[in-house]
A and B are shown apart, each in its own frame.
Chain A
Amino acid sequence: MIQFSGVSKYYDKEIIFKNISFTIEKGDLVYVTGPSGVGKTTLLKLIYCAELPDEGHINVAGWDLKKLRQGTIPYLRRNIGVVFQDFRLLPNKTVFDNIALTLKIQDMHPKEIKENVDEVLKNIRLKHKSYLFPLQLSGGEQQRVVIARAIVSRPSVLLADEPTGNLDSDTSAAIMKLFKDINAKGATVLIATHNETLFQGSGRRTIHLRDSQIEKETIG
């Protein structure tokens, strides 16, 4: 589902990745971890084409990203749900509209949009707050809205960037349960985190990044 082959990435003279390769199979739930600044976010950005590799090839859901034309990028992104570290919720839109935006972009019928958004709001237990604006929600609630927005179109790949950062342990556990449920429904999930408690004891594959390389792979 996701394949990195000899990928290198540089920012000016700074090396972020040097010749890294790994494969994530369809339906896997994988953690990417490492210290701050190691390139976890950059790795996710490479997958949803917000960054391009300087060397090597990346293949996502059958798309060779190196050969992807600018005009095709939106269609790749529609197959990838992203939970952004900085949320990226639109403050002037309600919870409902923020989630519905993903489906509007995909030109879905308004009736179907309502059904899908209502369903996902029910799953994240925020249906009663659908008319509120993001700034009227707590951090955990905002995080759940971001997850809802990422999964509402039922993407084949879900990327999450520090999804439990700044959240208490109960909220973190609830959010991780959401990811496991999504993964159980067949989505490939890749979670970038520096929070060891998330992957330790999870029994899931974990990719450890350090010094521009994959340091090791473990089963948590």
Chain B
Amino acid sequence: MRTLVYSLQTAFKSLWHEKWINFLTILSIGTSLLILSAFVGVTLNADSVLKRWAKSFGLVVYLDNTLNRKAEDRLKDFFQQDPDVLEVKYISKDRAIRELHEILGTNASILEELEGNPLPSSFELRLRRELLKPEIVKRKAGEIKQINGVEDVQYGEKWLSSLNTLSKAMKIIAAFLGCAIFTAVIFISYNTIKIFFFARRHEIETLKLLGATRSFIRLPFLIEGLFIGIFGGIISCLALFGVQSLIVYKGADILPSIRAIIVSLPVQAYILVPLAGAFMSLIGSFIAVGKIKY
């Protein structure tokens, strides 16, 4: 306990004594963590947009024209009982032609050339979000197509595939950026602690000769590294909060609905970022201090 108190005192003295180099290190770590947090924020917002898009995604099941109403109802019951389907919407032949009329607007006169209503009745099925993967949707569409009374199944195959690729790409970039920043923060704190260790080598040599254990020598450096990481994390959180507030309040002037659209980082992130900074910096410090030989 007393060794811990001594180490804390020594670490804080060094933090203050070497304030400029420590300040620059904290700023570098803060900037790195800010880039990472900002990207996580962007990914969260992009994911939220993708989720909103996914809500409107559905399979359109075109029914056989020969089916009577009773058979259509049986199919509706069948789809409603399917655990993969969240919502079933029935579109009758009449409604389909009406909607087509509305879409065509002034050009709707071309429909008058047709004999009767050529459009089939259909169901719009909304699948559970976790199933919205190209391969799963393709298989599901294939299964539905096999059902008696189903003429065809259509869905935005290319759109779904692009959406999925975008989501995957963002996750890969986030992972890559995370690794790069993890390495950068470790390297930054490694360099700083290595400089301090070198600057205090005579003191360390004396401590060793006076009977100091490895932990007694190492602990102040590790605590210093830990606090550098925590302070870096706090700086990045403050900057992130500032940038986010600026976007929300200033952006509201241009796009009033931005407050409803934008997804803020969860409160836990403001605890997690300094902790992550501390963890990364601690690893760097640990490597910098290295193995002490007697």
Contacts and interface: CB of A to CB of B under 8 A. Distances in A.
B206 interface: yes
B209 A48 contact: yes
Interface string A74-104: 1111100010100010100000000001101
A219 interface: no
Interface residues on A, range: 20 to 34
B271 to A, nearest CB: 33
Contacts, number: 47
Given A107-B2, A107-B3, A101 B207 contact: yes
B209 A50 contact: yes
Given A70-B293, A70-B294, A109 B2 contact: yes
Nearest to B213: A74
B212 interface: yes
B214 A71 contact: yes
A49 B294 CA distance: 8
Contacts of A110: 2
Contact of B211 (A70, A77, A88): A77
B6 interface: yes
A106 interface: yes
Contacts of B210: 77, 101-102, 105, 149
B209 A105 contact: no
A209 to B, nearest CB: 22
B216 interface: yes
B211 A78 contact: yes
A167 interface: no
**Of A49, A74, A82, A102, most B-chain CB atoms within 10 Å:** A74
Nearest to A75: B211
Nearest to B216: A105
A90 B211 contact: no
Contacts of A108: 2
A35 to B, nearest CB: 25
Interface of A: 48-50, 70-71, 73-78, 82, 84, 88, 90, 101-102, 104-110, 149
Interface of B: 2-3, 6, 202-203, 205-214, 216, 293-294
8 contacts: A48-B209, A71-B213, A74-B294, A77-B211, A88-B202, A90-B206, A104-B6, A105-B216
